[in-house]
Amino acid sequence: MKCLSKLKAAGVIAVVRGSEPNEALQACQAVVAGGMKGIEVTFTIPQTEQVITQLVEMYQHDPGIVIGAGTVLDATTARLAILAGAEFIVSPYFDAETASLCGLYQIPYLPGCLTITEMKTALQAGVDLVKLFPGSAFGPEIIKAFKAPLPQLNIMPTGGVNLTNLARWFEAGATCVGVGGNLFAAVETGEFDKVTQLARAYMTEFENLTREEEQDESVNFWRNDVALKNRGQ
């Protein structure tokens, strides 16, 4: 799906919270200024659907930006978010009714899962990307353990992701990651420029990881090509 490709390309998804709508909008603008393309607007913000609509209008001419709704607790809230323009729905747990609604509207649903059983249930309901929440409960190494029996699983860890361990999460097999608390710590003091600086640091690290991965793939392709030619001689 197009939205899932955009989430993977975005790499680092900003999980936005705020005490009021304008603060949340400023926080979103700050991370976008820092190069982030994935925005998850949580329903802990007052008038969340209005914030989503404003962001969708604000960035409608930037095809790389993907805006979704987070902390969606039920199907009713999910429908409000979708009608407001949300391109994906994130919840802290799996909810079958929400999964069904998102399937009806063909909107990606990212439920929070913590066990292999929960992840299996989500996959059976048509989920394409699972939110590992809270990621801090395990750490990056758990992704390989989950993907051993379910190699088709796409995982977005959220909670416990920071600049120090970002590389470890992606090296372990994360499709993308969600970052919230540490990214927006400066919002409380109104220092949105610091949010932009930190967002830029996250994206620089992600871009470096992506570049290294592409280089490794090129080397492996070259080696395989040489090996095939040698066999043919």
Helix H or strand E segment including 172: helix 166-172
Three-class SS state of 162: coil
- The alpha carbon of residue 67 and the mean position of all alpha carbons in its chain are separated, in whole angstroms, by 10
Read off the DSSP letter of residue 134.
T
Residue with tokens 């001689």: 233
40 catalytic per annotation = yes
Whole-number Å distance between alpha carbons of 178 and 71: 13
Kindly write down the DSSP assignment for every residue of 77-98, as one continuous string: HHHHHHHHT-S-EEESS--HHH
Report the C-alpha gap between 143 and 140 in whole angstroms: 6
Catalytic residue among 131, 144, 191, 213: 131
Q: Which of 23, 37, 40, 87 is catalytic?
A: 40
Task: Reply yes or no on whether 120 is catalytic.
Answer: no
Q: Please list, in sequence order, all residues whose beta carbon lies within 8 angstroms of the beta carbon of residue 34, skipping any fewer than 6 positions away.
A: 195, 196, 197, 198, 199, 200, 201, 202, 203
Q: 140-146: long-range contacts (C-beta < 8 A, 24 or more apart)?
A: 140/165, 140/168, 140/169, 140/171, 140/172, 140/174, 141/172, 142/172, 143/169, 143/172, 143/173, 143/174, 144/172, 144/173, 146/116, 146/119
Contact between 18 and 41 (Cβ < 8 Å): no
Q: Which residues are catalytic?
A: 40, 131
